[in-house]
Chain A
Amino acid sequence: MRFKSIQLMAIGVVAMCSAFNASAETLRVGMECTYAPFNYRTAEGELAGYDVDVAKGVAAIIGADFEYVCQEWDGMIPALLANKFDLIIASMSITEKRMEKIDFSGPYRFSTGQIVGSKKTRVTLFDGSGNPIPGNFDGLKVGLERATTYSSWFEEKLPGADVLLYDSSESLYLDLQNGRVDLIMTNPMKAHLKFLAKADGAGFEFKGPVVDEEKYFGIGVGIGMRQGQDELKNRLNGALKKLINSGDLESYARKIFPFKLHKDEWGQ
């Protein structure tokens, strides 16, 4: 009897400890904090956007505290590997190249790209089947963010293009307006909301189709983490599926867009 009660007590203490640990778990999350409408600071200085909503939703489900770290895009993966933070929730596409260095959860948003240019630039950039025509990019300057899916797509598909690499997406729009570049490639949802729908973007339009080749754009955008953390990965995947199936993920998207940004089958 006495032994049993000690055993029970021991189990109780262990259980309490682990419960305590779980609630006190803190994970640091890296994001750009300047990538509206996905992750950005509001005028009040609060983090907001689709990625931020996803992060908060996941944190609530897995019972962890998330601390947010703002990191420039081109240093995102090195910073994760250097242990500056534990997760990347920053609209990062799940590409094969990145998978060599880090692990990803399942997808929580579509990953696509589209070219934007001036309405005055009257060149056919893509053929009928949606492939770029390299010759027609001659003499056009293309602005891209460094280390993005868009820059790897350009590198592979149009190695001869005259590419300028930028550190932030905001400067892309500025230089497109200033005429320093003729074309940019970026996320079409973002380009529409933050540029084309505004007065600044009046003279500009999408050039060519939405590109989403899996080789360059991955199956979607996921949560990045260091390799070899399968337990954490399973918890994150479980949480993302819960967000998809409960309809929360769709509600995050509908705060910003009139449509959802994921496939329901990702919840299975």
Chain B
Amino acid sequence: MSFDLNLILDSLPKMLAGFGVTLQLLVVSGLLGLILAILLLLMRLSGKFYLDWVAQVYIYIFRGTPILVQIFIIYYGLPQFEAVRDSVFWSILREPTGCAILALTLNTGAYVSEILRGGVLGVDKGLLEAGSALGMSARQKFIYITTPLATRLALPAYSNDVISLLKSTALASTITITDMTGIARTIVADTYAPYEVFISLAIVYMIFTFGIQKLFGVFERYLGRYARREE
């Protein structure tokens, strides 16, 4: 097998042209997914069985099915209904990017809400009792005690999920989006050289992941600044 280094140098800048699209998918669906996750978390913690139940079913469905299937159902399935095509949502669902962001948001929201719940459950009961002893209301306890501590506890698992979301964005290339993977596949189709192109693509994703890891590392250290021992 011949390995064409020039091809890697040629295709890298082309793939980086899709970096913006990949970043957009990651950031937009990551933020929307986080908001959704917090809503689901509040439903789970509400103590109202009907809210809790709805959230549980939702999480079960979106964690129980492959993201690729979810993308296909949203992209190819929904437009089969005329009602969808006539609705106000069609302007979003018509666009492949809208469908991809929707699917990634719904998927990551389900996972992240469970991660956040793990964080909330990990907060020491004694601290909450101390809060009660100080006369804090349930809301105050949630905002001033649970939230900061739960965030710190959930952060490592959450950064994991962001990285896996980054890799899920590659699936957007199956619905015509020209993200980095979409561009790479087109280059392979032109050059018939899958090794060179996909290996360079893998390297680009690895660098991207490294950046995300470092970013979360900084954030983790910031949140953990009180827990660090003095040197």
- Closest B residue, CB atoms, query A164: B176
> 3 closest pairs, A vs B, by CB?
A147-B189, A178-B79, A164-B176
State which residues 182-228 of A face B: CB under 8 Å: none
Interchain CB contact (< 8 A) of A101 among B76, B182, B192: B192
State which residues 171-186 of B face A: CB under 8 Å: 174, 176, 178, 182, 185-186
- Closest B residue, CB atoms, query A171: B76
State whether the Cβ of B94 lies closer than 8 Å to any Cβ in chain A: yes
What is the distance, in angstroms, from A178's C-beta to the closest C-beta of chain B?
4
State whether the Cβ of A179 lies closer than 8 Å to any Cβ in chain B: yes
Q: Complex Cα distance A174/B75, Å?
A: 10
What is the distance, in angstroms, from B14's C-beta to the closest C-beta of chain A?
14
Q: Complex Cα distance A181/B185, Å?
A: 21
Check B94–A180 contact: CB distance below 8 A.
yes
List of A residues within 8 angstroms of B185 by Cβ: 74, 146
Q: Complex Cα distance A82/B195, Å?
A: 10
Interface residues of B toward A: which range?
10 to 19
List of B residues within 8 angstroms of A78 by Cβ: 188, 192-194
Q: Complex Cα distance A146/B173, Å?
A: 11
- Closest A residue, CB atoms, query B95: A180
State whether the Cβ of A165 lies closer than 8 Å to any Cβ in chain B: yes
State whether the Cβ of A166 lies closer than 8 Å to any Cβ in chain B: yes
Give 16 A-B contacts (CB < 8 Å), ordered by A residue: A74-B185, A74-B188, A75-B188, A78-B193, A101-B192, A146-B189, A147-B186, A147-B190, A164-B96, A165-B176, A165-B178, A167-B174, A171-B76, A174-B79, A178-B79, A179-B94
Bits for A157-181, please: 1 = Cβ < 8 Å to B, else 0.
0000000111100010011001110
State which residues 30-77 of A face B: CB under 8 Å: 74-75, 77
Q: Is the interface of B mostly helix, strand, loop or mixed?
A: helix
List of B residues within 8 angstroms of A125 by Cβ: none
List of B residues within 8 angstroms of A174 by Cβ: 76, 79
Check B194–A180 contact: CB distance below 8 A.
no
Binding site for B on A (CB under 8 A): 74-75, 77-78, 81-82, 101, 143, 146-147, 164-167, 171, 174-175, 178-180
List of B residues within 8 angstroms of A75 by Cβ: 188, 194
Check A180–B96 contact: CB distance below 8 A.
yes
Most chain A Cβ neighbours within 10 Å, of B95, B178, B189, B190: B189
What is the distance, in angstroms, from B86's C-beta to the closest C-beta of chain A?
11
What is the distance, in angstroms, from B78's C-beta to the closest C-beta of chain A?
9
List of B residues within 8 angstroms of A179 by Cβ: 85, 94
State which residues 182-206 of B face A: CB under 8 Å: 182, 185-186, 188-190, 192-194
Check B186–A146 contact: CB distance below 8 A.
yes
Q: Complex Cα distance A81/B1, Å?
A: 10
What is the distance, in angstroms, from A204's C-beta to the closest C-beta of chain B?
16
Interchain CB contact (< 8 A) of A74 among B96, B178, B189, B193: B189
Bits for B82-113, please: 1 = Cβ < 8 Å to A, else 0.
00010000000011100000000000000000
Seed contacts A178-B85, A180-B79; 7 additional CB < 8 Å A-B pairs = A74-B185, A78-B192, A78-B193, A78-B194, A146-B189, A165-B182, A180-B96
List of A residues within 8 angstroms of B94 by Cβ: 178-180
List of A residues within 8 angstroms of B193 by Cβ: 78
List of B residues within 8 angstroms of A180 by Cβ: 79, 94-96
